[in-house]
Structure formats: C-alpha cells, structure tokens
Amino acid sequence: MRIATTMPLRKLISCVVLDLDGTLLNTDGIVSEVLKAFLGKYGKPWDGRVAQRIVGKTPIEAAAAIVEDCELPCTVDELISELNPMFSDQWCNIKPLPGASRLIKHFNGHGVPMALASNSPRASIEAKISYQPGWKESFSVIIGSDEVKMGKPSPELFLEAAKRLNSKPSCCLVIEDSLPGITAGKAAGMEVVAVPSLPKQSHLYTLADEVINSLFDLQPERWGLPPFQDWVEGILPIEPWYIGGPVIKGFGRGSKVLGIPTANLSTEGCSKILSEYTSGVYFGWAGLSTRGVYKTVMSIGWNPYFNNTEKTIEPWLLHDFDEDFYGEELRLTIVGYIRPEANFSSLESLIDKIQEDRRIAEKALDLPLFTKYKKDPYLSISLQNNEHHS
Ligand code: ADP
Ligand code: RBF
Ligand code: MG
C-alpha cells in the first residue's frame, strides 16, 4: 500500500482534461531535432534555451519567438510554412510519455470522461494521436487552439472543454506540463496537476495544486477519482525497457560518498533513450557480458543531492563484486518503477532511502511477474551486436 493513499482528499473531481504535447506525448525530442536541422540551414546554433522559450506555446507564438530569438531573415508565416511539413513528417515517430497510455486506459476503463485540450490546431492533434492505438476513442472531447479565440494561457480552451464535457470547471482536473497550460487551468477555475517536462523547473510551478515528477506518480484517489490498481507491494510494473552499453568510469561519488557502487553508462550513447524515460528509481535485471545476470536497482535522472547537470543512469548491481568492470558491456531490462527522484537534506537520509530501494527491488524481483525477465535473451547477447531493441 502506498503511503500517499492516506493523504487527504483534495477535491471531488469528475472529469479529466489533458494536455497533449509534453504531457502525453514526448514531442520535445522531435521538436528539437526539426528545429536543430532547420536553424542549421540558416547557420544558426541550436541550444536548449530555444526549447524553454517555446514550451506550451501555440505554433504561431512559438514561431514568433524563434524568429525573434534567432534573428531569422524570414517572416513568422514563412517560418511556419517551412516548418509544418518537417514536423508532420515526424509525427509518426513521436512516442507516448511513460505512463500516458496507462493513464488513458485507466480513466477510460473506469468511465471517467476525458478531454484533450491542446494549443495545437485540431488537425495536428488528430494526426498526432492517430499513431497511438486506442487514444482517439478514449476522449469524449478533443479541442484545439483553432477552435477558440485565444489559446493557453487564456482559460478559453479549458472552459470550452468543460462545457463540451457537460461539467462544471471546478469538477475538472487538468494535467499539464507547461506554464501557459497551468496558468490557463487555474484561470479556468480547475484543479491542476503539473508534470513539468523540463528538468529542475518545479519552483516555477507554484500555481499548480500539485507538482508530480511523471505520470507514474499521479494518484487519482487524491482527487476523488478511481485509484490505479496496478501497484504491487509498493512497486509499479512497467512494460520492459531495454538499455545498454559499455560501463564507463563514473563520478566516484556513489562508491566513495554513498558506499554504493553504481555502474555508469555513457550519457552520449544513451542520450536519446534517456530522454524518453522520466527520471526516477527503477529496478530490473542487469546482464554483464562475461559474468551473468543480476538483480539491479537504479536511479535515472539528475541526482538532485549532487546537483548533476546531466541526466544519468546509474545501476547498482545487487551482488558483491570484488572488482570494477569498466569497459564491459552492460545490458539492462527495466521492469518496474519504485519512486520519483528526490532531494535529500542529509547524506544519511539519502543512503537510507537507497537501501530501502534495494530491499524493495530485491523482494519484487522474486515475484514470478519479474523473475521471468531474467531469461530475456537481450541480457545475454554477446558484445558484437549492441543494438538495443524495442
Ligand atoms: P560511482 O559509484 O560513483 O559511479 P565508480 O564509477 O568509481 O563510482 O565506481 C563504480 C564502479 O564499480 C562500476 O563502474 C563498476 O565497475 C564497479 N562495481 C563494483 N560493484 C558494483 C555493483 N554492485 N554495482 C555497480 N557497479 C559496481
Ligand atoms: N540521488 C539523489 O539525489 N536522489 C535520489 O532520489 C537518488 N536515488 C537513488 C536511488 C538508487 C537506487 C541509487 C543507486 C542511487 C540514487 N541516487 C539518488 C544517487 C545517485 O544516483 C548517484 O549514485 C549519485 O549521484 C552519485 O553519482
Ligand atoms: Mg558510477
């Protein structure tokens, strides 16, 4: 049983209003790729600041921000007509964010009416979700920014969504990743859960009623909605993820400061994969090409206690090795989620938590549900073929 189920109820909610880009779909990676290629043509550099400036904006606002920021020699309209086909080509490659399909299935299965309210035009929304099986039919209402006078942060989109859901705004729960979206939800008089898509931004989200790290952490029961029933003894089984690469020398802090050795995978080799996974503490099986397959608990993220600048994946193999294995091929099958990454006020409390994670992972991995993955051929494929699958 999760501790938080005993937390007080916030509000009685009957409908859920969802944002699409950055909340349900991992659009950011595609947007970065397209803009990088496009700006390259004009000899302009791409950096993350551009991404921060356009999050949650309507396409027109985003284009205006890019023309201004990058001092492009074209009009906003020209930029849009050049970019649009480049984006449409990529929609089939957009992946759902971790937990998105689970959430949609859950609310749909429990008859909770859902609206999709996005700053994209209606046609783009329909095109994007057409690649996600079962999504379109799950929404009672789909509404785009071209169907109202003003997009987010104006409350209009959300108010119109509530109207079409036949619901009072105060009975709607908005789930949003961007600041304009959160502002719009509060202005509409709705309850708002923020799931920031950019790291280390939660301090900007004070307007939201709750800030969570990923869709895995949503607790519908806190809003009077049916709880998820797939948590087992404090862990959430997930569709297996596969990741791997040669072990590289880490920061030396895990073993030296925490007393917990963590193998590091090169962030370069894993960056694309890492960007698809939300930060958090996970568990699964690790295969070392010359040694065997071991239970593993790992953190994925920025390790706030150490204030890292890069997202890392750090598996702790739950076995006593008497030597390092730098350079060896390590393969991971990630099968369950434990908790969001957290900041700790003391080293002792961080270590206590990691030890608790280890006990949870060790116990969980004995369940038949998870032991079956120990035999996954991916874990023992030899060094020559280091393509990850799925
Ligand atoms: P940090 O723990 O901060 O990453 P190091 O990179 O110096 O520090 O040490 C971790 C290294 O120790 C790994 O790369 C691996 O070779 C080795 N190692 C030994 N035992 C384990 C284990 N149980 N889990 C992970 N790595 C281990
Ligand atoms: N570091 C954090 O700052 N916050 C965490 O919540 C956190 N959780 C961890 C969970 C596990 C299972 C492991 C192995 C490590 C965790 N760390 C966490 C530490 C971090 O991943 C890493 O070991 C240190 O940053 C040293 O490089
Ligand atoms: Mg390391």
Does 1.10.150.240 match the CATH number of domain 27-93?
Answer: yes
* 253 touches ligand 2 (CB under 6 Å): yes
Place of tokens 């961080």: 350
Strand order in the sheet with 15-18: 141-144, 114-118, 15-18, 172-176, 191-194, 210-211
Q: Is the dihedral of CA 320, 326, 332, 337 positive or negative?
A: positive
Q: How far, in Å, is the centroid of ligand 2 from the Cα of 273?
A: 19
What's the pLDDT tens digit per position in 116-156? 999 999 999 999 999 999 999 999 999 999 999 999 999 99
What's the pLDDT tens digit per position in 39-79? 888 888 877 777 778 888 888 888 999 888 888 888 999 99
- By residue count, the chain amounts to 390
* 260 touches ligand 2 (CB under 6 Å): yes
Q: Counting ligands in written order, which one lies closest to the CA of residue 317?
A: 1
Q: How far, in Å, is the centroid of ligand 2 from the Cα of 119?
A: 36
Q: How far apart are CA 358 and CA 364, in angstroms?
A: 10
What's the pLDDT tens digit per position in 272-300? 777 788 899 999 999 998 899 999 999 99
Which tokens sit at 12?
A: 């009685």
Superfamily of domain 236-380: Riboflavin kinase-like (2.40.30.30)
| Residue with CA closest to ligand 1 atom 27 | 261
- The maximal CA–CA distance of the chain, rounded, in angstroms, is 66
* 281 touches ligand 2 (CB under 6 Å): yes
Confidence category of residue 313, pLDDT binned at 50, 70, 90:
very high
What's the pLDDT tens digit per position in 219-256? 999 999 999 999 998 999 999 999 999 999 988 888 88
What's the pLDDT tens digit per position in 166-178? 999 999 999 999 9
Query: Residue 233, by phi and psi: left (phi above 0), alpha (psi -120 to 50) or beta?
Result: left
What is the per-residue pLDDT for 229? Answer: 96
* 254 touches ligand 1 (CB under 6 Å): yes
Average confidence (pLDDT) over 259-270: 87
Checking if the pLDDT of 1 tops 50, the result is no
Q: Where are the domains of the chain?
A: 15-23+94-223, 27-93, 236-380
| Residue with CA closest to ligand 2 atom 22 | 254
Q: How far apart are CA 125 and CA 119, in angstroms?
A: 9
Planar angle of CA 217, 203, 213, nearest 5 degrees: 15
What CATH code would you report for 15-23+94-223? 3.40.50.1000
Using alpha carbons, select from 215, 181, 225 the residue that is nearest to residue 195.
Answer: 215
pTM, rounded to two decimals: 0.89
Q: How far, in Å, is the centroid of ligand 1 from the Cα of 384?
A: 23
| Residue with CA closest to ligand 2 atom 18 | 303
| Residue with CA closest to ligand 2 atom 23 | 254
